[in-house]
Amino acid sequence: MKTHFCILLLTVAAAGCTMAPKYARPTAPVPGQWPSGPAYAQTNATIAPTNDVSSVPDLNWRQFYTDPRLKEIIAQALANNRDLRAAALHVEKARAQYGIRRSALLPVVDAGGTAGKFRVPQDFSGSGQAQTVGTYSAGLGVASWEIDFFGRVRSLSQEAQQQYFATEQARRNTQIVLISSVAQAYLALVADRENLGIAQQTLETQQASYDLVKRRFELELATQLDVSRAQVPVDTARRDVVTYTQQVAKDENALNLLVGSSAAADSSITPTNLSGVMPPKEIASGLSSEVLLRRPDVLEAEDLLKGANADIGAARANFFPRISLSTAVGTASSDLGNLFKSASGVWSYTPQLVMPIFDPRTWYTLRASKVQRNIAVAQYEKAIQSSFRDVADALAVRGTVDEQVAAQESLVHANAETYRLAYSRYDKGLDSFLSVLDAQRSFFASQQVLVLTQLSKRENEVRLYEVLGGGWEPEKAIKLAAKSPSSR
């Protein structure tokens, strides 16, 4: 009979419902399609609005990035980066905390035993003589197990579960940001190496021009002013070479930190210009703004919102009685040899009910939990709005950057031709060296801007992939990829 009663209590506790309000996902406070306008003219032709979220391709980062060296570096970063490792450990911690909350639904069974002797004085002895009494006991017991009739414990368990889910989404977001950061650091390193090459080439050209002007001065075909003017771009180019040498070293350090390996920025196998880096794949067409709901940071905010919703159920349950049970079963005897005989059995059964009558804290706790849910709603909506802005910015760059690159390439070509003609006129004595300096300065500056513009285009491709939530891969697949060079 007692066994059946305990089973009944366990069943009731396991099937207990919560008093949390029914969760409903808030409406996304963003338009159903991406913005339109002059900046998005080219974008709208490739990324059209659609209501079919399931059609969004789950493009793996190994498919998106096509450059072999970059894929190898990303794989190393996923295996070695300390921030990602810490994020994974936070997930394990949250999982353990959820297990602690979840285990509160079940009783804690303890086994124990006691043994003792005490002397009874003559005045207190029933026999009129002093005697020594021994006591021995052994048994199993449940101490103060709360039977979750009103779902308080279950609501707290659900809150911990959502916290665990949110931590997992944070790890996914850390991984996506890491992949994007590695790609951008790699591209920045290559771009600065290209700028360093341009500066070195410019220094050689300016040194040759200076030597020519100096020889002309020695032949009294040029003035001291021409020599001084020719010295200016030489020193400027020397300064730029040193500046870009420093920047390349900083880029290498930044990439090595992200990857967790000093071999990540190996100059012998890293391209020296952006044209040597294979471009990533184009993002597929037909993406709706609903795809933002799949971003890990948005999912993290929604999990926190669900946790706040569950916390309301725990706060509501505080207004209802708490029923707890303490029970024990075992044996006891004054003689150790008789401890486990049939006549020595003992048991205890102590249910307890606590009914709140007046506790103002419960009202304030409920009010605080509702306010916290409203805060979580605002944070969830802000996460969606921020993600929409991120994608819109990336689309604006995507829709205009090709024209920007083309214009800058034309400007470089025009400046190169101007520099060539100016130098030719000076060499023939038709113009002063000042026009050569102006043309050379404009040519060098336009080359630098072209590299930055091309870098901006490449970085925006990476950025668009990141803000759309691309780049996540299960941890098991990451470890296998890091161990298998052939899979790269």
**Residue type at 145?**
W
Q: How far apart are CA 59 and CA 284, in angstroms?
A: 9
CA–CA gap between residue 124 and residue 58 (Å, rounded): 83
Other CB atoms within 10 A of residue 434 CB? 13
CB 29 within 8 A of CB 387: no
The answer to whether the CB of 208 falls within 8 A of the CB of 234 is no
Closest to 347 (Cα-Cα) out of 144, 145, 137 = 137
Superfamily of domain 18-105+150-320+388-487: Outer membrane efflux proteins (OEP) (1.20.1600.10)
Provide CB contacts within 8 A for 265, sequence distance 6+. 189, 251, 252, 253, 255, 256
Q: What does the pLDDT profile of the chain (488 residues) look like in tens digits? A: 444 445 445 544 444 567 888 888 888 888 877 788 888 766 554 444 444 443 334 678 888 899 999 999 999 999 888 888 888 888 888 888 888 878 877 777 778 777 777 777 766 666 767 777 777 777 777 777 777 777 788 888 888 889 999 999 999 999 999 999 999 999 999 999 999 999 999 999 888 888 888 888 888 777 888 888 888 889 989 999 999 999 999 999 999 999 987 766 676 777 888 999 999 988 765 567 778 888 899 999 999 999 999 888 888 888 888 778 788 777 876 666 666 666 677 777 778 878 888 888 888 888 999 999 999 999 999 999 999 999 889 889 988 999 999 999 999 999 999 988 988 887 777 877 788 888 888 999 999 999 999 999 999 999 998 888 887 765 554 444 444 443 33
Instruction: Locate the domains of the chain by residue range.
Output: 18-105+150-320+388-487
